[in-house]
Amino acid sequence: MSSTATPERKIPREKTLDSTVALLREAYEFIPRRARRYGSDVFETRLMLQPAICMTGAEAARVFYDDDRMTRLKAMPPTVLTLLQDKGSVALLDGAAHYHRKAMFLQLLGPGSFDRLVDLTAAEFATAATQWERRDAVVVLEAAQEVLCRAVCTWTGVPLEESEVHQRTRELAAMFHGAGSIGPRQWRGQALRARHERWVRQIIEDARAGRRTLPDGSPADVIARHRDSDGQPLDAAAAAVELINILRPTVAVAIYVTFAALALHEHPHAAERVRAGGDGELEQFAQEVRRFYPFFPLVGGRVVKPFTWNGVEFPEGRRVLLDLYGTNRDPRHWEGPDEFRPERFQDWPGDPYTLIPQGGGDHRTNHRCPGEWSTIALTKVAVAFFGSSIEYDVPEQDLRVDLSRMPAIPRSGFVIANVRAAGS
């Protein structure tokens, strides 16, 4: 793999002066399209006027997630960074400081730690359904965002008044809907993020000053009390960023909920299989939703330790983009990659580099998403709910998924009508 003995290879290089606009326009297809065109898993381009290396596939993911080679510092454009992770977050730490902070996330989000979040989400869906029965139509994306916002606030110990549910949901959703764009959607995200950060920071400050009690051991309480590897507590702004790092992406699971509902609609055989099956079939369906549908197109890093891979030199400081979407559909690892087939996961041994919608490698030492287990569990709740607990009509609507928009979602948000309890 990595070797200094391999002779230097000529890496395909884009002829354009800069590909930033093409990347924003082509989004999910930017890297896969060019990798196919050049017949190479790796090629060089220029982004924001600097050279950048793009790569795709499991071998590339293995290289990208090799410990200590990449940092996330200065890897993302500031507009994306401030909406998704923001300054002070675990994503921008490296080495021992990252390991220590990440351990806190894994304690909160590791398998078995979020059972209550799953129960709360299932209960919120059940309550919401009784209201949906009285409505002409429901946009699943929007409704799921609210369900998840209620559940995650209760679970994390963040106090949420009934009167502010709508506003807080909008703020959290605007962050991930704005991250992949430039212009009004991005500005709106920034404005709503600033308001949300003020709200969460105040909660942390009130708890620390004894003006408010957070439920003992809740994620909000753990983050407010957390001490970094230097023994110091997080400043209130960083603590708010990390709490939002649980709230925002949990609400973003609404995108997978929407795709799960779309998949149940568009793949009746798969829907039948999951209805007739048990937990295994639910899990396979959720995994296939994560593999098949777009979420983040790519992840960016910068080389901290120079290395050579397959004859290609990765100099210090070089920006590197790893293709997440294309790797999940790589025909070398997935048979019939463009078909929705949950049964492919029946005997899946698990592989940290072929299925990487939430990053790859090791959760503790790499930047791989600590929310992967809860994402799968919450998607399973949605599959069971939309697949078995309720019945509904799917009126005519625009279900196209535009791969040039980040995040890609069905244009209509997936509208359902005439909602009723199953079997009623």
Residue numbers at the binding site for ligand HEM (CB under 6 A): 72, 90-91, 102, 105, 109, 245-246, 249-250, 252-253, 295-296, 299, 357-359, 367-371, 374-375
- Nearest CA to 196 out of 153, 225, 154, 228 is that of 153
The answer to whether the CB of 309 falls within 8 A of the CB of 317 is no
The tokens for 213 are: 């009690």
User: CB neighbours of 70 closer than 8 A, spacing ≥ 6?
Assistant: 64, 301, 302, 303, 304, 320
For the sheet with 70-71, list strands across it: 42-47, 50-56, 319-323, 298-303, 70-71
Q: Which is nearer to ligand HEM, 14 or 41 (CB)?
A: 41
Task: Please tell me whether 153 is known to bind a ligand.
Answer: no
**Long-range interactions of 252-255: CB distance < 8 A, separation 24+:** 252/172, 252/173, 252/176, 252/407, 253/144, 253/148, 253/374, 253/375, 253/378, 253/379, 254/141, 254/144, 254/145, 254/147, 254/148, 254/173, 255/141, 255/176, 255/295, 255/407, 255/409
Q: How far is the CB of 1 from ligand HEM (least distance, A)?
A: 19
Q: How far apart are CA 198 and CA 59, in angstroms?
A: 42
The tokens for 115 are: 């059972």
Q: Which is nearer to ligand HEM, 262 or 419 (CB)?
A: 262
Q: How far is the CB of 252 from ligand HEM (least distance, A)?
A: 4
Q: Which is nearer to ligand HEM, 326 or 394 (CB)?
A: 326
Q: Which is nearer to ligand HEM, 71 or 412 (CB)?
A: 71
The tokens for 237 are: 């702004």
Q: How far apart are CA 123 and CA 117, in angstroms?
A: 10
Q: How far is the CB of 402 from ligand HEM (least distance, A)?
A: 18
Q: How far is the CB of 146 from ligand HEM (least distance, A)?
A: 16
Q: How far is the CB of 291 from ligand HEM (least distance, A)?
A: 11
Count CA atoms within 13 Å of residue 153 on its CB side: 22
Q: Which is nearer to ligand HEM, 91 or 222 (CB)?
A: 91
Q: Which is nearer to ligand HEM, 14 or 226 (CB)?
A: 226
Q: Which is nearer to ligand HEM, 81 or 419 (CB)?
A: 81
Q: Which amino acid is at 348?
A: W
Q: How far is the CB of 255 from ligand HEM (least distance, A)?
A: 6
What is the dihedral angle through the alpha carbons of 279, 284, 289, 295, rounded to the nearest 10 degrees? 100
Q: Which is nearer to ligand HEM, 6 or 107 (CB)?
A: 107
Q: How far is the CB of 368 from ligand HEM (least distance, A)?
A: 6
Q: How far apart are CA 20 and CA 316, in angstroms?
A: 21
Q: How far apart are CA 197 and CA 369, in angstroms?
A: 21
Host H or E run for residue 79: helix 78-84
Q: Which is nearer to ligand HEM, 14 or 413 (CB)?
A: 413
The tokens for 219 are: 């994620």
Integer Rg of the chain from CA:
22
Q: How far is the CB of 50 from ligand HEM (least distance, A)?
A: 19
Q: Which amino acid is at 358?
A: Q
Q: How far is the CB of 369 from ligand HEM (least distance, A)?
A: 3
Query: Rounded to the nearest 10 degrees, what angle do helices 184-208 and 165-178 cross at?
Result: 130
Measured from each CB, the residue nearest to ligand HEM is 371
Binding residues are: 369
Binding-site residues for heme sit at: 369
